[in-house]
A and B are shown apart, each in its own frame.
Chain A
């Protein structure tokens, strides 16, 4: 039962992840990304940690992607016309990065055992909070919040200067 659900969700996540890149319309891409995030949240739920699953939905699908869509609609972004990336250099770069990507995926695939993990892990709200506030993660955690604050202030400063 769990395995069937896992493969369905994994297929959904991968298919919509491909759609994110393949779509021509930015709003379509955003919607596909929401589907990916929701499928990932389902996988976390299957691993026996509803808290992480719910966080995934609240933070990514519910908050960040709503802002994305808001901005896309506010700017009224149109469907992309034609192929933006032509030219010889771009083609060579694409080839190189494509090869690198395939090599990476191959390296991971050969080492991984392809079975869904069924060992539940402790991820209640209390466990996650304990982890975050442990000395080894605390500094990184706090530094991230300072970074986000700096980005916010920077965005405000830029917006003010234009007025």
Chain B
């Protein structure tokens, strides 16, 4: 097979960007409906069930409503910061999805009917990933750490004491929990001996240290790190019980109090995309990515089921987030900070010591 030219590579990347971004944004609108319905069921209600079958068109109705709302900018607001905040939030959310693989590499079938100028596509193997960086995990981390500016700017730019409190809380919270989140990944990286996400997935393949099937996934091998990651990630994406930045009982709606219409929709969208990103990353780093739970289930009747396993793991994690929201009350702000600094970070550091000692004594694999 001839290697790809620059333009062919560019065409593949552009196609991947279009497909992945549209799928993610579709998933976002689906998630708003799924979340409202599931929460309703957990609270013995019905939830939105009027628009379309089962209420499935509710996101469309919401979108149209938000489009036609009046644009409001508070008189005393800093216009640049106020309008820039949703843009920053959305840009960082969409930039971070570039390095995530969305399934195993797929091989296109032989397609004889393709015109001459597209014939290079048939039989080609394509990675379902926009950019395969050597330092993929770190890149995600860097872009996520820029995401906080969206909230901070929104909180400060609106010139309102509730939004300012929300913005301040979110910057302190994200700053603290980013540390725990980063430290929880160190053990995984040590075991995989690489920062590439695909390598980390491959390192969890069945049979390391003789562990069969799903027992060799990092969620068992690195169990304390997995717990720290899940807790810190919940705080990172501002979900209940850690959503003190928009605590509606104290701060009206926190940092996005003054936002309405599509600006509000953009902020919501960024939050949901971040939630999906965090779940995809957890799937790759701890749940074995596209690996099957039992070795025999990876290929069934000659079909690679990697995409199915990957999607079901992500869906399970997303369901977990909604379940948490339906179950737990919000923690207090000082409890949140104390928990982050005095529990999560020490546990993560201790676990790094344990893992590093093990790697030095017995090697990574």
* Partner-contacting stretch, out of A12-20, A49-57, A89-97, A101-109: A49-57
Q: Are A57 and B146 in contact (CB under 8 A)?
A: yes
Q: Does A73 belong to the interface (CB within 8 Å)? A: yes
Assembled-state Cα–Cα distance A38/B138 (Å) = 15
A66 interface neighbour in B81, B142, B155, B171, Cβ under 8 Å: B171
Instruction: Give the dominant DSSP class at B's interface.
Output: helix
Give residues of chain B (131-164) contacting chain A, Cβ–Cβ below 8 Å: 133-135, 138-139, 141-143, 145-146, 148-149, 152-153, 155-156, 164
Residues of B within 8 A of A58 (CB): 138, 141-142, 145
Q: Which of B134, B143, B171, B172 contacts A124 (CB 8 A)?
A: B134
User: Quick check: B133 and A50 within 8 Å, CB to CB?
Assistant: yes
- Contact residues in B for A66 (Cβ distance below 8 Å): 145, 148-149, 152, 171, 174-175
Report how many residues on chain B are interfacial, defined by Cβ distance under 8 Å. Answer: 26
Cβ A125 vs Cβ B135 within 8 A:
yes
Interface size of A by CB at 8 A reads: 21
Chain A residues whose C-beta falls within 8 Å of the C-beta of B134 in the assembled complex: 50-51, 124
Do A54 and B168 have beta carbons less than 8 Å apart? Answer: no
CB contacts (< 8 Å) of A99 on chain B: these are none
Given A69-B152, A73-B168, A57 contacting B135 (CB threshold 8 A): no
**A34 lies within 8 A of chain B by Cβ:** yes
Alpha-carbon gap, A70 to B146, bound state (A): 14
Check B171–A70 contact: CB distance below 8 A.
yes
Chain A residues with Cβ under 8 A from B86's Cβ? none
Q: Does B291 contact A (CB under 8 A)?
A: no
Name the residue among A34, A38, A58, A73 with the largest chain B CB count within 10 angstroms. Answer: A58
A62 interface residue per 8 A CB criterion = yes
Q: CA A48 – CA B220 in complex, angstroms? A: 36
The CA-CA distance from A38 to B156 in the complex, in Å, is: 21
How far, in angstroms, from A125 to B178 measured CA to CA in the complex?
Answer: 20
CB distance from A123 to the nearest CB of B (A): 10
* Nearest neighbor of B164 in chain A, beta-carbon distance: A73
Name which residue of chain A comes closest to B148, CB basis. A66
Contact B164–A67 (Cβ < 8 Å):
no
- Nearest-neighbour CB distance to chain B for A25, whole angstroms, equals 9
In the complex, A70→B151 CA distance in Å? 12
Residue of B nearest to A63 (CB): B145
24 contacts between A and B (CB under 8 A): A27-B81, A27-B156, A31-B153, A34-B149, A50-B134, A50-B139, A51-B138, A54-B138, A54-B139, A55-B138, A57-B142, A58-B141, A58-B145, A66-B145, A66-B171, A67-B175, A69-B156, A70-B152, A70-B168, A70-B175, A73-B155, A73-B168, A73-B171, A124-B134
Residues of A in contact with B (beta carbons under 8 Å apart): 27, 31, 34, 38, 50-51, 54-55, 57-58, 61-63, 66-67, 69-70, 73-74, 124-125
Apart from A73-B164, A73-B168, what 15 extra A-B contacts exist at CB < 8 Å? A27-B156, A31-B81, A31-B153, A50-B139, A51-B135, A54-B138, A61-B145, A61-B146, A66-B149, A66-B152, A66-B175, A69-B152, A70-B168, A70-B171, A70-B172
